[in-house]
Each structure stands twice: as structure tokens, then as C-alpha cells.
């Protein structure tokens, strides 16, 4: 640890040498004392040194790098309206849109009393408003890698004056396959810059990335690598695969959970589960890669307002969701990657609050449970859950579950998430009806009147008799005037044309 780091037990924000405008913004946010990661990272970042920092999720990493960045940029801050006076000097990269939006909101709050401008760009929304904002000039840019490269290609932003780069949740970016995009972005940045890597987990890949792109970084760990928060109670329930939906409903009702995030491994599984628990009277919504960005943001906003009780999500929501006092999360599926477990349960127990992490484990998920316990280096409490009211799972079966798993692994890139045809039909929670879904109605009794043969009325019979002579003569006249079809089409020769026409 750097000698300049202020000890967490005695640290205050006043001791960091931050500008009055920043301290005022901190006070507006209600912060009193820095968290351990903030107390140790802020002084190091202020020196301009590269940093490789790890801390449990929910401990304030965003402020740990945002506050010193704003402080370092203040000498170059300008009130001029000219875009040339507001070049991009700090770039913050995040793996997901939700995390980018969350970081941007925090940066905006911390810099509200300064002339510094900030902007956020991510996929799934119209580029034109983003382009207009970038053309006006911003000093701090928060972005997902794919959309940032789109703006670079459109020449709406220039990264040639970036002084500071932050890779937030860098391990997740590698897991989602962003390394080629990261390489392209890093090639556009000046060689002389400060680089900060912040993450909740340290993996061998992250350490290799740090060795490649960081220069003599200061390593900061405020907790054991890949550890989980001590204020989160973790329980694993053994349930049969077909009882999982009923188990979720039972846990929500027994614990009177008014806000809970339920994690699934696949997009189609999240949509299906949201529909099923909503049928049980629980207000639910699903967010995943197939939902549009506006749909995802609307669901998140409704969840934060308390209008939605259960938010069913894939790992796209495991990062960047900062919901105050979220009481619990439920793992409907154990994640394929043990690191994702750490991030999932980090949505609860944030900022020192307590929370519950409840996981459902079927017999075919024992290996995933063992991988999680190996990562966090301790066994988890396992209990048997008796589901009182099982809920039918229409798409049951190991083969379907296995296919869902492959789809979950396909959720890789923020630029172009892979989409299955079946998943597209599930979009928005609607399923096309088939002939098998149509109800079979009973046949109604038929009036005997409609089964009798037709009998003309006396008036119609009398009229038919009066017209009988004319009807008998009509065929003779018609026969005389009828001509072969070939003649009408010109198919008979001149002999037919020269034949005398019978007189009337």
C-alpha cells in the first residue's frame, strides 16, 4: 500500500485535499466518511500513479476513482462554450449499459458544482443525441467499448488528449469478449496516461492485462480477493429442477420481500420465469439482452420506485445496479462462472446494509456450487427446501435447460448480443399462439330446420310454372347463336368465316 494512503479508521474527505466544490458535492450526497476502498485509492490516484484495485462490490469504487479524477481535471476546467476548450481528458469504460449509466449519474453528481462536463454513450439507443453532446465537448466520457468505437468511426469524438483511463469491472469486460475492442481503443490513446483498473475480483487474466497496459501499478485490496461481503447472509436451498419456480414464489412470500432481484442464466429463462411468477400475483418484469435499452431502463426505474416487486434478470444486470437497501437477491440458476456469483450477491448488502443471498441448487448444479465455494474459499450453508405448492414448468427437461445454458454463454457482446429465434418470439413476454393452444369449444345444438331439404314456397312454385314456356324456348335460341370457342379465339380458318350465318 502506498505510504500516502489515509488509514480507513481515521480518514475523512477533508484530508484528501479535494477542492471545496467537490467537498460540497460530497456533502450533498450525504457522504460523511470514506469507505475503505475510497480511503486507500483516492490518495494514490491523486498522485497520478497507475492503480490496480479490488474491493467487494457495493463498497464505493466509483467514488474511489471519480473524485480524484475530477480533482485532477479542475486546473484545466473552462467555462468557455467552445468545444475546443472541453476535450475528452478522462475516459471511463464499463462492460454494460446499466453500469455506464450508473457511473455517469455518480460523476455528474460529484462534478455538479464545477465547470467540468461529462457524457455517457452506450448502445441500444439513438446515436444522434450522443453525437450532439460530444460535439459540444466533454472532459469526462463514460462509455461501453462498442458504442465508443462507433463514435470514433463517425468522428464525433477524439481520444487524442485522454490523460486518464479507467477500466471499471475489467474482469467482466474480458469475460464478455471485449478484449479486441479494448485493444483498438487503447491504440487510440496517448502512451503517456494514467490507467486505473477497478474490479470486485482479481483473476489471472486481469493480472495479465494489468501487466500489459499498466506501468508499475499500485495494487490495492481492501478485502481478500474474490471474497463476499460479511453483512450478506448466504443460503443455498436444495430443490428439484421442476420445483424452482414454486420455490421462488414461496421464498418471496415467506420473507415478505417487496424488492428482490432474481437471476437466471438465459434470456428466454428470465422472460419465462417473470411470466410464471406474475401469474402467482407477484408484480415482476424481466431485463436481459433482448430487451431494448428503453425497456430495460423503464423496468429498472419502476423497480427502484417500488412498483415492481421481482426483477428477473440475466447477468447483464449483475453489474451497475445500485439500489439502496435491496433486501435480497435470489439465484434461480447458479451461474456458470463462479465470479458472477460474487457480483450477483453484491447487489444486496450495499454501503454497510445487511442483505440475504438465496440460491436454488438442483442436483445437476452441484459442480457450479463446488466452483463457487472454491472461489470464495469457504463452504456455503445448504438447506433442504420443501416446496408447498409446486408450479408447473411447461418447458421442463434437462435438454431444454442445457440449451438455455448455451444461450446464456452466447450473451457476450454489448455491440451485438446473439439472439435465438425462439428468444425473439419471447421478446416482451409474449408467445405466438399455435393450434395446440386454441381452446376446443363444444358444438352447439343445430336446429332441425337447417337439416331439411329445400322446398320452394307456393308463390315461388307458381311463378316458376308461369315462366316454364320461356325457359323451354331459351335453350333453342341459345343453341342457334352459340359459336365454337375456337372461333372466338380465331382458331378456325377462313372456311368458318365464309360459312353463312343462320338466320333468325
Could you check whether 13-221 and 232-430 share the same CATH topology? yes
Strands 355-361 and 328-331: parallel
The DSSP H or E segment spanning 358 is strand 355-361
Residues in the chain with pLDDT < 70?
Answer: 1-10, 56-58, 200-201, 223-230, 317-322, 324, 350-352, 392-504
In whole angstroms, what is the distance from residue 430 CA to residue 258 CA?
Answer: 25
Instruction: Give the model's pLDDT for residue 470.
Output: 53
Find the distance separating the first CA and the last CA of the chain, reported in whole Å.
122
Q: How much is the pTM?
A: 0.61
Q: For the chain, state the CA radius of gyration.
A: 35
74, burial (CB in 10 Å: exposed 0-12, middle 13-18, buried 19+): middle
The residues with which 284 forms a beta bridge, in sequence order, are: 310
Q: At what angle do helices 338-345 and 366-376 cross, to 10 degrees?
A: 70
May I ask the CATH class of domain 13-221?
alpha beta
* pLDDT for the residue 416: 38
Residue with cell string 481503443: 185
Residues 6 or more apart whose CB falls under 8 angstroms from that of 130 comprise 119, 121, 147, 151, 156
According to CATH, the superfamily of the domain at 232-430 is P-loop containing nucleotide triphosphate hydrolases (3.40.50.300)
Cα atoms in the 13 Å half-sphere on the side-chain side of 79: 2
pLDDT value for 297:
83
Q: How do the domains of the chain map onto residue ranges?
A: 13-221, 232-430
CA distance 13 to 63: 11
**Helix (H, G, I), strand (E, B), or coil: what is residue 294?**
helix
For residue 483, CA distances in Å to 462, 475, 477, 486, 503 come to 34, 14, 12, 8, 14
Burial pattern 54-66, b for ≥16 Cβ within 10 A else e, equals bbbbbbbbbbbbb
What is the per-residue pLDDT for 208? 84
* Per-residue model confidence as pLDDT tens digits over 126-162: 999 999 999 999 999 999 999 999 999 999 999 999 9
User: Where is 184: in which H helix or E strand?
Assistant: helix 179-188
CA dihedral sign, ordered 122, 108, 312, 174: positive
Q: Is 130 left (phi over 0), alpha (psi -120 to 50) or beta?
A: alpha
Cα separation, 137 vs 369, whole angstroms: 48
Query: Which parts of 175-303 are beta strand (E)?
Result: 194-199, 218-221, 232-238, 260-263, 284-287
- pLDDT of res. 407: 40
CA distance 269 to 264: 6
pLDDT, residue 169, reads: 83
> pLDDT by residue (tens digit) across 31-82?
888 988 899 999 999 999 999 988 766 678 899 999 999 999 999 999 999 9
The rounded distance, in Å, linking the Cα atoms of 202 and 225 is 6
Place of cell 488509514: 7
Q: In terms of C-beta density within 10 A (0-12 exposed, 13-18 middle, 19 or more buried), how is residue 225 classed?
A: middle
pLDDT number for residue 250: 94
438 grid coordinates: 386454441
Amino acid at each position: 500500500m502506498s505510504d500516502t494512503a489515509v488509514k480507513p479508521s481515521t480518514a475523512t474527505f477533508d484530508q484528501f485535499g479535494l477542492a471545496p466544490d467537490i467537498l460540497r458535492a460530497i456533502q450533498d450526497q450525504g457522504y460523511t466518511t470514506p469507505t475503505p476502498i475510497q480511503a486507500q485509492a483516492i490518495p494514490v490516484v491523486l498522485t497520478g500513479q497507475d492503480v490496480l484495485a479490488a474491493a467487494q462490490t457495493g463498497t464505493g469504487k466509483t467514488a474511489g476513482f471519480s473524485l480524484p479524477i475530477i480533482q485532477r481535471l479542475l486546473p484545466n476546467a473552462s467555462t468557455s462554450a467552445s468545444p475546443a476548450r472541453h476535450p475528452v481528458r478522462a475516459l471511463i469504460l464499463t462492460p454494460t449499459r446499466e453500469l455506464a449509466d450508473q457511473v455517469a449519474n455518480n460523476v455528474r453528481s460529484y462534478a455538479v458544482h464545477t465547470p467540468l462536463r461529462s457524457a455517457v454513450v452506450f448502445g441500444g439507443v439513438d446515436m444522434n443525441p450522443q453525437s450532439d453532446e460530444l460535439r459540444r465537448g466533454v472532459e469526462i466520457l463514460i462509455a461501453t467499448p462498442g458504442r465508443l468505437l462507433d463514435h470514433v468511426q463517425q468522428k464525433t469524438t477524439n481520444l487524442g488528449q485522454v490523460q486518464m483511463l479507467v477500466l471499471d469491472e475489467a474482469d467482466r469486460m474480458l469475460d464478455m469478449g471485449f478484449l479486441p475492442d479494448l485493444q483498438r481503443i487503447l491504440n487510440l490513446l496517448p502512451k503517456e496516461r494514467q490507467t486505473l483498473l477497478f474490479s470486485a475480483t482479481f483473476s489471472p487474466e486481469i493480472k495479465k492485462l494489468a501487466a500489459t497496459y499498466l506501468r508499475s501499478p499500485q495494487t490495492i485490496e481492501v478485502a481478500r480477493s474474490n471474497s463476499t461481503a460479511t453483512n450478506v447472509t448466504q443460503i443455498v436451498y436444495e430443490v428439484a429442477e421442476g420445483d424452482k419456480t414454486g420455490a421462488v414464489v414461496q421464498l418471496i412470500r415467506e420473507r415478505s420481500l417487496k424488492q428482490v432481484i432474481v437471476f437466471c442464466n438465459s434470456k428466454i429463462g428470465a422472460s419465462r420465469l417473470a411470466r410464471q411468477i406474475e401469474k402467482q400475483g407477484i408484480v415482476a418484469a424481466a431485463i436481459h439482452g433482448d430487451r431494448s435499452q428503453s425497456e430495460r431502463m423503464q423496468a429498472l426505474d419502476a423497480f427502484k420506485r417500488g412498483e415492481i416487486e421481482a426483477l428477473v434478470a440475466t447477468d447483464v444486470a449483475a453489474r451497475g445496479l445500485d439500489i439502496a437497501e435491496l433486501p435480497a437477491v435470489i439465484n434461480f440458476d447458479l451461474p456458470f462462472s463462479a465470479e458472477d456469483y460474487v457480483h450477483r450477491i453484491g447487489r444486496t448488502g450495499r454501503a454497510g446494509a445487511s442483505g440475504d443471498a438465496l440460491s436454488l441448487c438442483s442436483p445437476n448444479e452441484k459442480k457450479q456450487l463446488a466452483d463457487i465455494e472454491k472461489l470464495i474459499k469457504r463452504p456455503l450453508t445448504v438447506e433442504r427446501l420443501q416446496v408447498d405448492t409446486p408450479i408447473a414448468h411447461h418447458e421442463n427437461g434437462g435438454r431444454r435447460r442445457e440449451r438455455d445454458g448455451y444461450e446464456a454463454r452466447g450473451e457476450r457482446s454489448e455491440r451485438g448480443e446473439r439472439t435465438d429465434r425462439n428468444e425473439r418470439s419471447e421478446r416482451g413476454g409474449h408467445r405466438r399462439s399455435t393450434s395446440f393452444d386454441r381452446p376446443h369449444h363444444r358444438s352447439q345444438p343445430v336446429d332441425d330446420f337447417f337439416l331439411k331439404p329445400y322446398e320452394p314456397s307456393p308463390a315461388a312454385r307458381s311463378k316458376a310454372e308461369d315462366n316454364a314456356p320461356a325457359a323451354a324456348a331459351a335453350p333453342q335460341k341459345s343453341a342457334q347463336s352459340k359459336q365454337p370457342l375456337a372461333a372466338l379465339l380465331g382458331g378456325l380458318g377462313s372456311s368458318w368465316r365464309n360459312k353463312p350465318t343462320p338466320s333468325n
